Amino acid sequence: MLTELEKQLLNDYQQGMPLVSEPYSEIARELKQKGFSVSENDIINSLSSLKERGMVSRVGPVFKPQKVGDSTLATIAVPDKRMEEVAQIVNHFSQVNHNYKREHHFNLWFVVTASSQEEVEQVLEDIEQQTGLSVMNLPMEQDYHIDLGFPLWC
């Protein structure tokens, strides 16, 4: 179950996080204008709870590809019996986001974002070494903007 505050956070802040030195304080201020009685700590605790419960994978910026650092899409063909183990190894890397399972021979897909192409390649090598599985690197050839923000509750 989600609280009304959690629903509001998920709805309003998929995009457009305040670009200020104390964004959670600003969110609390904005939500007070909508009738919520919340503090900066309430916002931080709610987002932490959502993350702990698996409702949110991360809270952070999304940068246009190749504008700040470098990134790539990657995939691994993981035996079903090793999926959880391999996913945990991949998730261990702070450079990995958008990690998900698909119904396909190549069944674990993820994005690696790092400060340089060399770091991206090192992360992929480290994942191969730690999992014992080959990683297919699928660098972007064409940039398409897909807006993944959408209203969850009306």
pLDDT tier at 88, thresholds 50, 70, 90: very high
Helix (H) or strand (E) holding 112: strand 108-114
Q: What residues contact residue 96 under an 8 Å CB cut-off, 6+ apart?
A: 90, 110, 111, 112, 123
Q: For the structural domain made of 70-138, what CATH number should be given?
A: 3.30.70.3460
Averaged pLDDT, 114-137: 97
Averaged pLDDT, 4-20: 90
What is the per-residue pLDDT for 153? 64
- Of residues 19 and 78, the one with the higher pLDDT is 78
- 116 has a pLDDT exceeding 70: yes
Q: How far apart are CA 138 and CA 154, in angstroms?
A: 37
Burial of 153 per CB tally in 10 Å (0-12, 13-18, 19+): exposed
- 17 has a pLDDT exceeding 80: yes
Extended beta strands in 46-107, E state: 70-76, 96-101
Instruction: Return the DSSP state at 44.
Output: H
- 128 has a pLDDT exceeding 60: yes
pLDDT tier at 69, thresholds 50, 70, 90: confident
Q: What residues contact residue 136 under an 8 Å CB cut-off, 6+ apart?
A: 74, 75, 76, 106
- 23 has a pLDDT exceeding 80: yes
Model's pTM, two decimal places?
0.61
Alpha helix (H) residue ranges in 3-149:
4-12, 23-32, 40-52, 83-91, 117-131
pLDDT tier at 1, thresholds 50, 70, 90: confident
Q: Which residue has the tokens 């903007």?
A: 145
- As a whole number, the mean pLDDT across the chain is 90
Q: How far apart are CA 79 and CA 89, in angstroms?
A: 14
- 127 has a pLDDT exceeding 90: yes
All structural domains of the chain with their residue ranges: 4-52, 70-138
What is the per-residue pLDDT for 151? 73
